[in-house]
Amino acid sequence: MLQILGVAKNQEPNKKVWVANGSDETWVDDFKGSPPVDTHSIIPFVINPPTEKLCFGRGIATASPSSLEGGGKTKVSERFAGGTNTAFDRGTIFHKWMEDIEWFDGNVPSVDALIDSAPAQEASRLDDEILKKIASDCHNALQKNELQKLLTKEDGNACVYLEQEFMLRVEKGTSFAEVIMQEPTDIRGSIDRLVVHNDENGNVIRAEVIDWKSDVFENETLEQKVEHYAPQLATYRLAAAKLLNIQVEDVKAVLAFLIEEKIEDITDKASVKCP
């Protein structure tokens, strides 16, 4: 810039070497001092307590459906057991693959196709052989008639919602299977697969909540697994009933153990009782 102006490069600090034509060197004076502040008196007002008793007096407790698994208790041995991260990544990958299926169209994806479509972050943390084993397990499960039937659209007017999110406020005393809520609680979660059946007029008549599980039965039986997950599925039943404006009795609960290839209707176990 100094070369363009034709002046020496070495200049004293704060020395003006050029002033544009028409410039106002006093412009900064307009910003000096404090601007006037308009003050207004505030009309007195009263904050009334909420009319809804659930909100009165304190904050609302929160919970997730999965926090109610196993009666709301966590075994320390399971929390710190080895392989927990691998099991979590395995479950996330399985859920993604099942989420890719709106309705079963008769085509079972190959093992290679499943590997290619696995979520990158979780897949990168797994050994190649482990990922291949997971993909093979999913491929085998999708070849079973029972799972194909579960994913096939029935005759009639039906629609499916994948990873349907919800927030549900329940009162103290609400029970999900053997878990009884000890205080008003907001439960927030998402239903893996929500299938809604409508009549010829488009009115909802019944629904199914389906939850995918990638558990491997080692020291537990199928019955123990069902009891463990029943409270979680019970919250899904109530949430679906509220979302669809139907009775909870009209919502079926299904656990799908993909690796073990077990499809279980646990509606009776996933009971809901509201005070």
pLDDT at 252 over 90: yes
pLDDT at residue 5, rounded to an integer: 61
Per-residue pLDDT band for 58 (boundaries 50, 70, 90) equals low
Compute the Cα dihedral for 136, 137, 138, 141 and give only its sign.
Answer: positive
User: What are the residues whose beta carbons fall under 8 Å from the beta carbon of 238, sequence distance 6 or more?
Assistant: 168, 170, 176, 248, 251, 272, 274
Task: Summarize pLDDT for 77-123 with one digit per residue, the tens.
Answer: 444 444 458 888 999 999 999 999 999 999 999 999 999 999 999 99
Q: What pLDDT score does 86 carry?
A: 83
The strand ranges marked E within the chain are: 61-63, 157-170, 175-176, 179-180, 185-198, 204-213, 251-257, 262-265, 272-273
pLDDT at position 194 is: 97
pLDDT digits (tens, 9 = 90+) for 124-170: 999 999 999 999 999 999 999 999 999 999 888 999 999 999 999 99
pTM: 0.74
Instruction: Give me the mean pLDDT over the 218-240 stretch.
Output: 92
pLDDT tens for 170-225 read: 999 999 998 999 999 999 999 999 999 999 988 999 999 999 999 888 778 899 99
Binned at pLDDT 50, 70 and 90, residue 75 comes out as very low
Classified by CATH at the fold level, domain 54-273 comes out as Lambda Exonuclease; Chain A (3.90.320)
Q: What is the pLDDT of residue 23?
A: 76
pLDDT score of 80: 40
3-state secondary structure of 233: helix
Model confidence band, residue 7 (pLDDT cutoffs 50, 70, 90): low
For residue 128, CA distances in Å to 11, 100, 123, 131 come to 66, 22, 8, 5
Q: What are phi and psi of 74, to 5 degrees?
A: -115, 125
Top mean-pLDDT range of 42-51, 68-77, 106-115: 106-115
Q: Are the C-beta atoms of 181 and 175 separated by less than 8 Å?
A: yes
